[in-house]
Amino acid sequence: MENALLIGLSRQTALDRQLGVIANNIANVNTAGYKADNTLFEEFLNTPAHEDNFVGLDRRVSYVQDRGTFHDFRQGPVEETKNPLDVTIDGSAFLVVQTAAGERYTRDGGLHLNNQGQLVTVAGNPVLGTGGPITFQPTDHDINITPDGTITAVAGNVRTDSIRGKLRLVSFADPQSLQKEGFNLFTADQGAAQVDTKSVVRQGYIEKSNVSAVAEMGRMLDVTRAYTAISNLLQQQNDLQKTAIQQLADVPA
């Protein structure tokens, strides 16, 4: 197969991957705490062309290689909900939640209580405090969450606040090592999570997705146009080959 066709195919493969990432970002534009993904590409040099008509750098055959994706951890816009259980984090910290597969991490602070009085995420995963899952009593009211994550509540007619736990906040030396696992959760290597004492918790607010729908739609249009342009180029190359074969077949023996 001609080099032009192989190079075009490599670029189309990369564009298809990029389109999938963009589509996933758009699908999560309204997901609280969602962090957008972006794609990384690099030049892949193959064995130089052996045709003597090519000289110098023209002998180099350059393909496009999909190197991977990276997370955009910039903080999304903050929206006030006035729900006392909702929290947003000013800083790079993550909430720690307990799942069937072990501890996971999230920026989604849309929290509520389950039937057992445990503080859980939208997906129902218990939010972990420094002492384990955070549980409230049936008579608790006037819940308060301080900037350091300490949670207190008034039980029944008691006038003093009772501590129900303290949100466990963690951060990572290399956030790009985090892997998305679905349900707005991240997973990390064992021991990678570090206690975060710099981030601040804000009660009654929630962090929205940091995806810009307008920007992502613009990127989608650019990718679609590039894919179409390469398709047209490959079709032209195919037509040239077809014409050349037909003309060669017409040459008298």
Residue 242 pLDDT level (bands cut at 50, 70, 90): confident
Q: What distance separates the 2 farthest-apart alpha carbons in the chain?
A: 106
Cα gap 243→153, rounded to integer Å: 81
Q: What is the pLDDT of residues 56-95, one digit of tens each?
A: 555 566 777 776 889 999 999 999 999 999 999 999 999 9
Q: What is the pLDDT of residues 200-218, one digit of tens each?
A: 999 999 999 999 999 999 9
Q: What is the pLDDT of residues 97-138, one digit of tens each?
A: 999 999 999 999 999 999 999 999 999 999 999 999 999 999
Q: At 20, which helix (H) or strand (E)?
A: helix 3-27
Whole-number pLDDT of residue 248: 73
Cα gap 176→75, rounded to integer Å: 15
Residue 49: count other Cβ atoms within 10 Å of its Cβ: 13
Whole-number pLDDT of residue 227: 92
Residue 8 pLDDT level (bands cut at 50, 70, 90): confident
Compare 179 and 68 and report the one with higher pLDDT: 179
**Nearest to residue 111, comparing CAs of 157, 36, 164, 37?**
164
Helix extents (H) in the chain: 3-27, 213-249
Cα gap 145→202, rounded to integer Å: 8
